[in-house]
Structure 1
């Protein structure tokens, strides 16, 4: 018994030493991203799995770059772009497109994309359609949402979600300014139209309103609004407050049009948002997220992140993913 007590004392002393080195506030709260091999650069990814089991990943830049793999962990291979040459939307940024969102609806894949330049309010959300997802198969259809200096929102970072019926759709978008807006959307064959009920669904009232990248995931009779909050996309880990860089939050609602609230009941239109994933260890500034259901893994949260052991420049953004679990009606990685 005395020997056991001595061993326990040594163990506790060693544990206290570890805790002193790694205070609770900086100990890893989250799992590291799932594995990625091959072409792992991405920013604001969109991931979808075709019926034949092939994964497609779409990314900001290069006219919405496409990478494919037979496994979510890779190896990923670059296979081309959605748009060839430039978007038909004739504004600045038409040849360097942002923030894709890809969804399959009634036989067609729709790829929504953003046209803008950094810090500009003169922006647009366009879309292209395909029946196969492959590079070279996409038909550019032009703009769905536009913004200018008189708009309360910035028309970037779009996402579309199904409502309560087969023909009920909602499109959401926005960044900084007055943050996230939503309207009804109508789909008629290959055509997408905004169809009214435009309203704000999320807003960060403090600072310069660092919130963007809305993505709504429907699960049973609840809609989950995932957001990227914080500083993006130029970083200095030596001076950036760690809790103020990009991280992923969520609010939920029983109505696709809101109101959305976080786990503490705080309205998403008043800065609410329960953190799902944030910086930890060398994993830095995760964001640009989305969710899809994978028959191999279940519900998957995907995103981009930076690895501080490699660097935090924009072109060092990596593809990250984690399986989502649902605990008491809330997602956790």
Structure 2
């Protein structure tokens, strides 16, 4: 090949590589949200029919629990209801200081919608995870009714884990699992009964999925946090291609412009692990690959959930704090799986 032809070919190859890099970089995108997206914490997303529903931590207007937001296009959102009018009486008896319920996790299993949720107090691990079910998410349907099934799992003061931030996952063999955890000894998992959604009696092992060791030179714990405060929480697990992916939130949430949350990820061949990051470091030894970190516009992106959609874009929904006001707002991004690792974007 003449030298000039080789030179032109190299330019074409370079241009092609740049185009490929550009395509990969733009394969994931942050969506523009309007309406009732502000004020959202710990969002969990699902779709029924032509409507997407997001469940979130916190009180709904009038004092109800778990305000629900709805959208038919993923951009315009509106408040469309709540799960509970009041905190269930059994929780008020078990944890009388609980004022609001946390970290809803919505899924569709065995012909019904399951909502795993948590109750606790800041800085305490005297916590519990419970289960409610519904036949539909359509508020206008005569079949719409949440049925609370009570306690699934609890942690006590002498436990080394915290029973909050539940996430339901069904493995590729059709078996059900519950991931959970916050601070203390990190992210844990229990096997569930495949029919009832409560804890399995056949497998009672407490599996460890991720933890963060406290550095020797770590600063003292902030107020209302456990001594080993290097935080990893908000687990969410999905299966993609040949791997299970464990998404978690690191560092501190819920502090407005001082929030330091970031979203991390690792992957494993088995739902119970071992999960590793891109470098091969186990998540049980402090490993984790960054997915979402703060930018100039939004602080503390975390509290994430993922919607895997075989007919469209996979989505990650999370909250972040407005750098100007310090108030939380829902964020949505499509997910690009280039290289068998997830990539997402934070809004600008």
Which residue is equivalent to 1:61? 58
Which residue is equivalent to 2:289? 274
Do the aligned residues in 1 keep the contact of 2:257 with 2:321 (CA within 8 Å)? no
User: Residue 188 of structure 2 is aligned with which of 181, 189, 196?
Assistant: 181
Question: Higher strand fraction: Structure 1 or Structure 2?
Answer: 1
Which residue is equivalent to 2:271? 256
Does 1:148 find its partner at 2:156?
Answer: yes
Which residue is equivalent to 1:113? 117
Do the aligned residues in 1 keep the contact of 2:68 with 2:80 (CA within 8 Å)? yes
Matched residues in 2 for 1:44 and 1:279: separation? 17
Matched residues in 1 for 2:145 and 2:246: separation? 31
Do the aligned residues in 1 keep the contact of 2:257 with 2:323 (CA within 8 Å)? no
**What's the offset of the Cα at 1:197?**
2.1
Deviation digits for residues 163-184 of structure 1, max 9, x if unmatched?
A: 1312x11111110011111011
Number of equivalenced pairs? 292
Do the aligned residues in 1 keep the contact of 2:257 with 2:299 (CA within 8 Å)? no
Deviation digits for residues 210-251 of structure 1, max 9, x if unmatched?
A: 1100000111331000000012221455xx7xxxx1000000
Matched residues in 2 for 1:93 and 1:320: separation? 31
Matched residues in 2 for 1:171 and 1:93: separation? 26
User: Residue 47 of structure 1 is aligned with which of 40, 45, 48?
Assistant: 45
User: Residue 236 of structure 2 is aligned with which of 215, 237, 240?
Assistant: 215
Do the aligned residues in 2 keep the contact of 1:144 with 1:194 (CA within 8 Å)? no
**What's the offset of the Cα at 1:187?**
3.1
Report the more deviating stretch, 129-138 or 282-291.
129-138
Deviation digits for residues 288-312 of structure 1, max 9, x if unmatched?
A: 0011024674111110011212x11
Matched residues in 1 for 2:281 and 2:172: separation? 24
1:174-323 to 2 correspondences below 5 Å: 174-189=181-196, 191-195=197-201, 196-206=204-214, 207=218, 208-237=229-258, 245-294=260-309, 297-309=312-324, 311-312=325-326, 316-323=327-334
**What's the offset of the Cα at 1:64?**
1.3
* Structure 1 residues 120 and 317, CA gap change in structure 2 (3 angstroms): same
Measured on the aligned residues, the alpha-carbon RMSD in Å equals 2.1
Does 1:128 find its partner at 2:117?
Answer: no
Q: For residue 120 of structure 1, give the secondary structure of its aligned residue in structure 2.
A: coil
Which residue is equivalent to 2:78? 77
TM-score (norm 1): 0.83
Do the aligned residues in 1 keep the contact of 2:52 with 2:72 (CA within 8 Å)? yes
Q: For residue 322 of structure 1, give the secondary structure of its aligned residue in structure 2.
A: strand
Matched residues in 2 for 1:197 and 1:121: separation? 19
**What's the offset of the Cα at 1:30?**
12
- Structure 2, unpaired ranges of 5+: 1-25, 60-64, 219-228
Does 1:172 find its partner at 2:165?
Answer: no
Q: For residue 82 of structure 1, give the secondary structure of its aligned residue in structure 2.
A: strand
Which residue is equivalent to 1:14? none
Do the aligned residues in 1 keep the contact of 2:267 with 2:275 (CA within 8 Å)? yes
**What's the offset of the Cα at 1:31?**
7.9
Matched residues in 1 for 2:162 and 2:213: separation? 16
Matched residues in 1 for 2:194 and 2:68: separation? 24
TM-score (norm 2): 0.79
**What's the offset of the Cα at 1:200?**
1.2
Matched residues in 2 for 1:296 and 1:170: separation? 25
